[in-house]
Structures are given as C-alpha cells and as structure tokens.
Chain A
Amino acid sequence: MLFQNTIDTSSYMIAGYSIFFGVTIIYLFSLYTRWRNLLRDLETLEELEDK
C-alpha cells in the first residue's frame, strides 16, 4: 500500500496570507489618504468661495 506524505508548504501559506493582508492594508490606507486630502481640498475651496 502506498502512502503519500503531506508536504511542508507552510511557508507558501504564510506568504499568501501576508500578501493578502499587506495589499488590503495598503488599499485601506489609500482610501483613507484620498479621503483626508479631499476634505482638505474642500475646506480650502470653501474658504476661497466665501472670500
């Protein structure tokens, strides 16, 4: 009877999940940064409009 051993592929799993969380965090940060910059622009434009 043949037995197939489980191969150690944990490093690939760690790499996969690291990339998933890394890309997700980068995207969330980009959303936050764009939002913050737009709010700043909006405030400046509102001030200019009032003048």
Chain B
Amino acid sequence: MKTKPSALKALDIASLILLAVATYLALVFAPTERVMGDVQRVFYFHVATAWVGLLGFVAAGVTGIIYLRTQDLKWDLVEQAAVEISLVFFFITIILGSIWARPIWNTWWTWDPRLTSASIVELIYLAYLMLRQGIEDPDRRARFGAVYTLVGAISVPITFLSIRLFRTIHPVVIGNESSAAEGGFAMTGDMKIAFFFALFAFTIIFIDLFWNRIRLGHLQQKVEQLKLKVMD
C-alpha cells in the first residue's frame, strides 16, 4: 500500500500532461471570442470542472447503492472519495462562473435557477462531509452516507437541466437556450477542439485523483483499525 502502483504513477504523469495541453488549447489555441474577449476562455475549464464534479456526485450515489446492497465498508470509502473530489471541482466551477459573470452580466452573482441549484448541490455535499464526522460507528456512518448520497444525487439532474427547463440568463452552449440567456456564443471549430479536449483531460484527471484519494482512504482505514487494536 505504501508504494504507489506503476499504473497510478503513469496516470499521474498523463494527467499532468493532459492538464498542460488543455491549458494551452484554452489559453492559446482557441480563438478570442469576438464580444466577450479573453474571459470567455474561462468557459473551457468551467464546463470541464462542472462535468467531473457532477460525475463524481453521481458516482457517489451509485457507490451508495452498492454499499446498501453489499454492506461492504470499502464502498463507503469510495463514496467519500468521490464526494470530496467533486466538491473541489464544483467549487472551482462556481468561482469560475462568477468571475465570467462579472464583466458579462455586470454582477458577480445572481439568484438564477442554474446558479442557485449549483450552490445547493455544493452545500448538500459539504454538509455530507460535515455530518459524517459526527457519527462514530463506521457502519452507521456508512449507511447514513449511502442514503444521503443517493438522495443528494437527485440534485444533479436538476442542476444539469435547470438551464434547459427554466427561464434563465445562464447560456446554453450545446442545445436550445432560454430567450433570456445572456453571454451565449457559437463555438468555432478550434473552440470545439479546446472544449472537448478539456472534457477528456478532466475526466482522466478525475480518475487519477479518485484513485489517489481511495488509496488515502484505505490507509486511513488501516490506521484506524490498528489504533483500535493497540488500544485493546
């Protein structure tokens, strides 16, 4: 456990390279948007971090189901890892969105359906980590976590679909947007390359971080077990 598997080392390196390429494509390769200027480049990482953030929350819900069926504590560990990484990515999404909104909407924040639902998702999962800490019994904690993430996962499609179902000023880049949307744009070929590459790169980065975080969870579990053994 102490030594990192070579596949994970390779994934670490691949993630770094992919992040560097995604940054180059977003900042240099993609053309400057005609109206919004350079701030539009934030969009590539904004969408990519949102994608992996929501993916992790769904993965946590799925592992919650698996735990409830198997009662195996390793799934609780996987679930916690997914939530933690997604919280970090989704936090970045919200901050990047706010930075983009300042020059485009002339405000850092507005209680639009998408922004509101995204904030609720972030708070739901932040509460998950905090509430878990208050439960000492590992089985009860895992059962609570599984049910919580399962219910919490409902907020994910609501957030994703909010800009397609409600009247919102948040732009929809792929698909039909609300007539009230502000800041939308049509992607050129080079923009699409930067966009889809960022989605791919962040998916790999997510897998890499997920694996690393699961290893950390295993080590934590081992230390806790040994601590109980030594105390007895």
Interface size on A, residues (CB 8 A): 27
Q: Which of B37-45, B114-122, B133-141, B162-170 is the interface stretch?
A: B37-45
- B213 and A19 form a contact (CB under 8 A): no
- A16 and B42 form a contact (CB under 8 A): yes
A residues touching B (Cβ–Cβ < 8 Å)? 4, 6-10, 12-13, 15-17, 19-20, 23-24, 27, 31, 34-35, 38-39, 41-42, 45-46, 48-49
Interface residues of B in 155-180 (CB under 8 A from A): none
13 extra A-B contacts, CB within 8 A, seeds A7-B103, A19-B96, A45-B230 = A6-B36, A8-B38, A9-B38, A12-B102, A12-B103, A19-B95, A19-B99, A20-B92, A20-B96, A23-B91, A27-B88, A45-B223, A49-B230
Please give the distance in Å from B12's CB to the nearest CB on chain A.
10
* Known contacts A19-B95, A34-B216, A35-B219; A42 and B226 CB within 8 A of each other: yes
Q: Which of B27-35, B67-75, B146-154, B187-195 is the interface stretch?
A: B27-35
Interfacial chain B residues near A34, Cβ < 8 Å: 216, 220
